[in-house]
Amino acid sequence: MMDHPTFERENQERVQAVENSFHQAGKPLCKPGRILIGEGTVLKQGRKKIQQKIFFLFTDILVYGSIVVPGRWYKKQKIIPLEDIELEDLEDSDIFKHQWLIRTPRKSFFVSAPSSEEKKAWIEHINECRSSLMQGTSRKPSKKFAVSWIPDQAACKCMRCLTTKFGPANRRHHCRNCGFLVCNSCSKQRAVISHIHPTKKLRICSFCYKYINEEKFRNRGDSAGKSSSEEDELCPSGEENEEVQEGGIGIYSPSNWLDTKNGTWERLSIYDYPKSVPSQ
């Protein structure tokens, strides 16, 4: 087993290398006690297309970004605290393989791995790190999560009025409450969705606007013991359309995981996931 000072030094170098790879556009990642557990490329479903992203899993955060030069330069850094993450495993479809859903309060999105083994490894490691982080701390897991947006290519007409066809004169918009693709006429209303943004009013569709107002009215008539946060419940978003076309896919690099038993950085089976860091 690698001695503790050596492990700390090598981990610090790895974390610093990740921080440097985002250059000045990224936020600092070096922090006492933070360990880089794994890294690899996955495909992320965006609004318009599928894009390859680099993912880094630390003991307390998940970091991802766009790839400029593999292994050297990344941009558009995103940092998600692990307590704000909820994962949902998804079955394979004819179009998407090895996919899962990452939910966060501000944004939820689909990602996929090159194999079922890679997918299981990511889910296993994220859940293990999140569970370890939450034990014996004052951190509280998120209770509300943003819905995932339906991709632009999944609908050719408004999913609310079912009549307006999308085109140059009729742009696609997303309801921030249900994630549906809607036309401008069906999404003129605005509302605060506190877990996405505490103060800013966001675009929502007419259906969700009616639902939220009715919910507020019902809550006013209920007992005074109910908290105001209950007024922000999301309306059901229904089943998401799976008619999504692939595009923008690059070449995967295999995920790498830290074996803390001996401090080596290598590809691991999910059954070899380390349960502790080197002792002093």
- Distance in angstroms (rounded) separating the CA atoms of residues 44 and 189: 29
Task: Band the pLDDT of 258: cuts 50, 70, 90.
Answer: confident
The CATH number covering residue 188 comes to 3.30.40.10
216 within domain boundaries: yes
Q: Read off the pLDDT of residues 227-256 as tens digits, 9 standing for 90 and up.
A: 333 333 333 333 333 333 333 334 445 678
Residue 161 has pLDDT above 60, yes or no: yes
Domain that holds residue 217: 156-232
151 within domain boundaries: no
Q: Read off the pLDDT of residues 138-160 as tens digits, 9 standing for 90 and up.
A: 777 888 899 988 888 889 999 99
238 within domain boundaries: no
> Structural domain tally of the chain?
2
The CATH number covering residue 125 comes to 2.30.29.30
Q: How far is CA 46 from CA 68, 107, 233, in A?
A: 17, 11, 25
Residue 279 has pLDDT above 70, yes or no: no
Residue 75 has pLDDT above 90, yes or no: yes
Q: What is the pTM of this model?
A: 0.74
Both 13 and 75 in one domain: the answer is: yes
- Distance in angstroms (rounded) separating the CA atoms of residues 63 and 56: 5
The answer to whether residues 34 and 59 touch, using CB atoms and an 8 Å cutoff, is yes
Q: Read off the pLDDT of residues 16-46 as tens digits, 9 standing for 90 and up.
A: 999 999 998 899 999 999 999 999 999 998 8
Both 266 and 202 in one domain: the answer is: no
Both 126 and 170 in one domain: the answer is: no
Per-residue pLDDT at 221: 64
Per-residue pLDDT at 202: 94
149 within domain boundaries: no
Both 95 and 43 in one domain: the answer is: yes
- Average pLDDT score over residue span 213-234: 54
94-98, 176-180, 264-268: least confident range: 264-268
Per-residue pLDDT at 98: 93
Single-letter code of the amino acid located at 104: T
Both 101 and 128 in one domain: the answer is: yes
15 within domain boundaries: yes
Both 24 and 113 in one domain: the answer is: yes
277 within domain boundaries: no
